[in-house]
Structure 1
Amino acid sequence: MSGERQYSRRAIGKLAAGAVAAAGMASLPGQASAAPHYRAHGPLLTDGYQTWIDAINNQGADLAKVVTGWGMPGSGPWQNFPDHIWTAAGATNFLIVRTVTGDTDKMIDPNQAVAEIRDSRFFEFKRIRSGADKCIIELGNEPNIRVADPWAYGYNLSVTIDRIRETFPGAKICGTALSPNKTTNPDTWYANPNFVNAIKKCDFVGVHFYSNADDGNFAAQGGWNELTYSETLSRCASKWPGKPVIATEYSMRTTRVTPYNKGYKYGSLIHFDDSVASSLWGACYYHVQTNPGGIDFHENVGSEGARGYRKRLSEGGL
């Protein structure tokens, strides 16, 4: 991928105790809030398992995300690494486990979704370590990029939700996040009755939003032909009033900001920016990706981004 993220890419609580205990309460100009917004927060793993664990620890994260089809510390499926799954299941209070079925150019399939969650063993171990309700199963990812039929996707998503609830009792379910790129017609999906009704059955609405700006301005994405975070969150409030939202992916796409400073800006956005709607329950930034030839490597924040995030939390309102 190029330095600025392209749209054809392969899509893949509470703050830590004491993180803001001694924070000052003055405000940063234009940003800012005297008191932090308490939202679940943490990193998404794409490649670099130990770096991801380090990031969780560095940040004091209470939320993290894995995908059933990649991220394992070696070759083969996740179930070949039970010790790593066990560690991941206990690393944060909440764990998002996303399916590969329903991703980008794939129609979501209920049988495959059940098989992925079962075979990956994340729900199994998370239920033991923290409780079933601390496992959030996210179904699909940005299907509006290449899946042309929101009617069929919405129908299949609804069936998949029923199967997941039956097979993994107690788990929370997060609905499919759409790409905010306007050329992929997210509003067509937000307006589709089948898709809207399927998301109504979920515990959380999933969303994605991004920034191409070096200053971490997530509100300027209209210039990149994208829905901004505020536009996306307003659609969620309109279609699914009262339902909590998780940003299961958000990032700064620029390569001109260090991972540490990206993490710092992420902390400012999620916890100290009053323009972010109160419906945002939590957010996972995209991503830990230590493979220099891997997908969207330029968005990697490694474990240093987590230090920057925690630094912002420790400063409080400033």
Structure 2
Amino acid sequence: MEQDESSQRGRGLSRRSLIRLTGGAAAAVGVGAYLGAGEPASAAPFYRAHGPVLTDGYQTWLTAIGNQSANLAKVVTGWGLQGGWAANPDYVWTACGASDYLIVRTVTGDTNTVIDANNAVNEIRSSRFFEYKRIRSGAGKCIIELGNEPNIGVSDIWGYGWCLSATIDRIRTEFPGALICGTALSPNKGVRPDDWYANPNYVNAVAKCDFVGVHFYSNPSSGSFTGQGSYNELTYAETLQRAATKWPGKPVIATEYSIRTTAISQYDKGYKYANLIHFDNSVAGNLWGATYYHVQTNPGGVDVNENVGSEGARGYRQRLSEGGL
């Protein structure tokens, strides 16, 4: 990433970076025009990178990226495509061109396994996501996310932090120019995320990354992200505050966020997501971008109630096109 951009990360993106992030010169004439809404938006949104997470439903995920005009998307090395990524390089190539930035998350370090540097390197290399993204967009548009919610099942925080630090060093060497996102924790207070936020080994490891990774959710059927305390979870505000306190000046990516209900439509979920990420003044300025969880078209798959499909992306785009209300 160019020097003028990287030096701005801790203080918010420069205007030049914002324009590049949101589609070139189109951003300078207003997000309404950028989205093809016909009229400039009545108020400019917070320019944050945005897009969907792929769990199952590759074509729907691509459609969602287009429907949303997403400039960020997320895949996982170990799943998301029938037959696997390594066996389908054409699909990897297309995925790498679908959005400006691409998050590639490892399976190693997920939930109840300690992250392993060799496994992380092998996953990224065999999936070819970094290789193809470097060719299509440049190495600095590939964000490698290491691990996922280890506080659910890993008891040795010190050990995980040590292994995460070693993995970051290997990733820097093996995939030069890639950006690195730290391991996001589950916000569920029952799995004690604050123990991890207080652990020097974990904190020091994440400090070596380009981004802090976080997750936050909403259980209420209203789709409000402010009431998670009653569900024994850190709210989005609490999570972002912890990130700002532990890693001051470091940008944050919400690599998962969702509304866990079917009481509202997928379209309305996407609309609420855009309202939160781009128009809610209570969202901390350290949030650089966010990918919502998720595109999941398998009716028997994981967390199907949180599927936003491609219609959610239409709702997201509609809220952006409206601007300030």
Once the two structures are superposed, the pairs formed by residues 1-318 of structure 1 within 5 Å of their partners are 14-15=21-22, 17=26, 19-21=31-33, 22-25=39-42, 34-72=43-81, 74-75=82-83, 77-318=84-325
Which ranges in structure 1 are unaligned for 5 or more consecutive residues?
1-12, 26-33
* Counterpart Cα distance in 1 of 2:269 and 2:218: 11
DSSP-derived class of the 1:152 partner:
helix
1:215 Cα deviation from its structure 2 partner = 2.2
Q: Deviations over 1:213-259 (max 9, x none)?
A: 22221011000000000000000010000000000000000111111
Counterpart in the other structure of 1:29: none
Whether the 8 Å CA contact 1:104–1:144 is kept in 2: the answer is yes
* Counterpart Cα distance in 1 of 2:242 and 2:68: 30
Report the aligned-residue RMSD.
Answer: 1.0
TM-score normalised to the size of structure 1?
0.91
Counterpart in the other structure of 2:12: none
* Counterpart Cα distance in 1 of 2:284 and 2:223: 17
* Counterpart Cα distance in 1 of 2:41 and 2:135: 38
* Counterpart Cα distance in 1 of 2:183 and 2:122: 18
Runs of 4+ aligned residues of structure 1 deviating over 4 Å after TM superposition are none
1:15 Cα deviation from its structure 2 partner = 3.7
Larger RCO: 1 or 2 (CA < 8 Å, sep 6+): 1
1:24 Cα deviation from its structure 2 partner = 4.1
Q: How much identity, in percent, do the aligned residues show?
A: 71
Counterpart residue identity of residue 162, structure 2: Y
Counterpart residue identity of residue 292, structure 2: Y
Counterpart residue identity of residue 276, structure 1: V
Counterpart in the other structure of 1:31: none
Q: Deviations over 1:260-290 (max 9, x none)?
A: 0000000000000000001000000000000
Q: Deviations over 1:20-57 (max 9, x none)?
A: 333443xxxxxxxx431000000000000000000000
* Counterpart Cα distance in 2 of 1:35 and 1:185: 38
* Counterpart Cα distance in 1 of 2:22 and 2:177: 23
